[in-house]
């Protein structure tokens, strides 16, 4: 294959990748966009293999086959609830690949520019690898999910940045010690990734995932410069830009700046959050037990907004949520879903889970649209969500969620919360809604609680295990 043909194919693949990203903007076309992007990856691999020396194709073909098989098995075996962990792991593997490419090129003693770029690929790739593994460990529960900040954390980060910069600058003049420089860069990068990721936790995890995705793209683009591959540069740049845009979207959704999140500073300065509405005095429970009150709320509601959260994902209760929505609609009730941008552990987590059970896209309301409707809604049903409905975000200064826009679930005429317990959410901030007597609580597994709601909707409770309290 000539260089001109390779460049032409690369241009076509880049345009196709951009089209695929655009298709993924909507759940209606996301599957087509994903397939198009997968086709672009296959095309890129074939283009690279076509340019390789045919006498040395055995190892690249074996690597492609092994990687494809591992990816297929992982995609089939990983549950949807574990998808954020898988995304974080894939980000890390992308960073590792870029770091290895940079190290190999650096070992060949390239010119000054090549040495600098290769060294940068090693550093950025190592940061991405270790940071992504820490994020995956937090998401999987292998590591504590809370933010951990060392006593001199900013100073440690500054030292690592200076050390990485010094090693990158030393790469062109390292001579026979190039391997030592590469190893030192990898070590510094791995330590820097751990320092970066360990301080991000709680409500900030979606930001960490999208930022690490951006870093994996940046590492790939830098590695592309190191090997003079236009296609790798372009694809890495696309991934890096897309991840950075998503990071900014997540930051806006949380009313936080990226420097605040990365530095561990207080989420918002006093006065930055909207004024908290005056707290309504808790009303006395209606006559009868909690079960009767829930049945009454379900029967009398004409409009219902369901608010899913990570608890729904953890219990794999999306099918039960769809069944409840269908049951409500069969009784002539208007049903919609309120989706907070950072509900779950990665951007779009709730959208993916609801799309999996064929919830129509036009029933999914974003934060602003949902809050505009909640005040006129007869009933809001929260399924496993905590931080994204916590009104303390408007008042609890210095907490991880302070200043974050939340869903105004309490504005609905009636509110049912289905959660496993009354404990704090992922951000570690108590939710005052649990102490309000006018809020109806169903404590227990989400699927069991949803079964209780379905039975109450149909009539007398028949063996559901959710416990009203």
Query: Is 283 inside any structural domain?
Result: no
Beta bridge partners of 383: 308, 418
68, 93, 118 — which closes off a domain?
A: 68
Instruction: Give yes or no: residues 46 and 99 share one domain.
Output: no
Sheet of strand 379-383, all strands in order from the earlier edge strand to the far edge: 364-365, 334-338, 303-308, 379-383, 414-419, 439-443, 467-468
Task: Look at residue 453 in the predicted model and tell me its pLDDT.
Answer: 93
For residue 285, being part of any structural domain is answered with: no
Same domain for 12 and 121, yes or no, is no
End-to-end CA distance of the chain: 71
Instruction: Give which of 249, 390, 238 is closest to 307, Cα–Cα.
Output: 390
> In terms of domains, do 91 and 238 share one?
yes
- Let me know whether 43 and 87 are in one domain: no
Q: Report yes or no on 323 lying in a domain.
A: yes
pLDDT tens, the chain, 469 aa long: 677 787 788 888 888 988 988 888 777 788 899 899 999 989 988 888 888 777 788 888 999 999 999 989 988 888 777 788 888 899 999 999 999 999 999 988 888 998 999 999 999 999 999 999 998 888 887 887 777 878 888 888 889 899 999 999 999 988 888 889 999 999 999 999 999 888 876 667 778 888 899 999 999 999 999 998 888 898 899 889 988 888 888 787 777 777 777 765 544 433 333 333 444 444 444 434 678 889 899 999 999 999 999 889 888 899 999 999 999 999 999 999 999 988 877 777 888 888 888 898 889 998 999 999 999 999 999 999 988 899 988 888 777 778 888 999 999 999 999 998 888 776 678 899 988 888 999 888 888 999 999 999 876 544 444 444 4
pLDDT for the residue 268:
41
441: three-class secondary structure by DSSP: strand
Q: What does the block give as tokens for 273?
A: 């959050």
Instruction: Answer yes or no: do 416 and 439 share one domain.
Output: yes
Q: What is the pLDDT of residue 85?
A: 86
Write down the pLDDT at residue 375: 92
Domain presence at residue 387: yes
* Domain co-membership, 42 together with 104: no
The pair of structure tokens assigned to 463 is 């063996």
Q: Does 368 share its domain with 221? A: no
Are the C-beta atoms of 45 and 83 separated by less than 8 Å? no
Residue 193 and residue 118 share a domain: yes
Is 218 among the domain residues? yes
The C-alpha angle with vertex 210 and arms to 205 and 213, in degrees rounded to 5, equals 125
Query: pLDDT at position 47, please?
Result: 85
Residue 64 CA to residue 49 CA, distance in Å, equals 10
> Which residues sit opposite 262 in a β-bridge?
none
320: containing domain: 290-468
Q: Which of 310, 307, 419 is nearest to 366 (CA)?
A: 307
Of the residues 230, 265, 300, the one at which a domain ends = 265
Final residue of a structural domain among 232, 265, 298: 265
414 and 447, same domain (yes or no)? yes
64 and 159 inside one domain:
no
The residues annotated with a catalytic role in the active site are 387
CATH (domain of 344) = 3.40.50.1220
| Domain count for the chain | 3
CA 303 to mean position of chain CA atoms = 30
78 vs 84: CA distance, rounded Å: 10
Residues 199 and 161 in one domain: yes
In a domain, 125, yes or no: yes
Q: Is residue 271 included in any domain, yes or no?
A: no
* pLDDT recorded at residue 273: 37
Q: Same domain, yes or no, for 194 and 214?
A: yes
Residue 446: inside a domain, yes or no?
yes
């Amino acid at each position: 294959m000539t260089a001109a043909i390779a460049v032409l194919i690369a241009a076509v693949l880049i345009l196709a990748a951009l089209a695929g990203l655009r298709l993924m903007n909507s759940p209606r076309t996301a599957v087509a966009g994903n397939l198009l992007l997968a086709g672009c990856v296959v095309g890129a691999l074939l283009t690279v293999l076509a340019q390789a020396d045919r006498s040395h194709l055995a190892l690249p073909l074996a690597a492609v086959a092994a990687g494809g098989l591992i990816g297929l098995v992982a995609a089939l075996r990983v549950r949807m609830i574990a998808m954020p962990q898988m995304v974080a792991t894939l980000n890390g593997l992308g960073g590792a690949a870029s770091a290895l490419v940079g190290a190999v090129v650096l070992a060949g003693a390239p010119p000054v520019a090549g040495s600098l770029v290769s060294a940068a690929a090693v550093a950025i790739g190592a940061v991405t690898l270790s940071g992504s593994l820490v994020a995956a460990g937090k998401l999987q529960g292998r590591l504590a999910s809370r933010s951990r900040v060392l006593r001199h954390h900013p100073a440690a980060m500054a030292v690592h940045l200076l050390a990485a910069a010094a090693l990158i600058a030393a790469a062109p003049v390292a001579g026979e010690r190039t391997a030592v420089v590469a190893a030192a860069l990898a070590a510094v990068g791995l330590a820097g990734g751990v320092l970066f990721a360990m301080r991000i936790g709680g409500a900030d995890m979606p930001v960490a995932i999208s930022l690490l995705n951006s870093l994996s793209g940046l590492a790939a683009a830098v590695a592309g410069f190191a090997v003079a591959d236009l296609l790798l540069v372009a694809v890495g740049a696309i991934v890096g830009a897309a991840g950075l845009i998503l990071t900014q979207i997540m930051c806006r959704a949380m009313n936080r700046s990226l420097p605040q999140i990365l530095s561990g500073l207080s989420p918002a300065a006093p006065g930055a959050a909207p004024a908290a509405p005056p707290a309504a005095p808790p009303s006395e429970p209606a006559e009868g037990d909690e079960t009767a009150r829930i049945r009454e709320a379900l029967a009398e509601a004409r409009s219902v907004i369901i608010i899913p959260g990570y608890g729904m994902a953890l219990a794999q209760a999306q099918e039960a949520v769809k069944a409840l929505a269908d049951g409500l609609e069969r009784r002539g009730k208007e049903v919609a879903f309120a989706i907070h941008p950072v509900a779950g552990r990665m951007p779009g987590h709730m959208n993916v889970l609801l799309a999996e059970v064929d919830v129509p896209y036009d029933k999914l309301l974003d934060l602003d649209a949902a809050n505009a409707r909640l005040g006129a809604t007869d009933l809001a049903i929260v399924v496993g969500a905590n931080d994204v409905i916590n009104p303390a975000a408007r008042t609890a200064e210095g907490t991880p969620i302070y200043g974050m826009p939340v869903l105004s679930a309490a504005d609905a005429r009636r509110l049912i919360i289905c959660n496993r317990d009354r404990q704090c959410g992922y951000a570690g901030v108590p939710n005052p809604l649990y102490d309000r007597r006018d809020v109806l609580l169903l404590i227990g597994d989400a699927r069991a609680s949803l079964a209780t709601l379905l039975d109450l909707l149909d009539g007398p409770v028949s063996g559901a295990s959710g416990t009203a309290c």
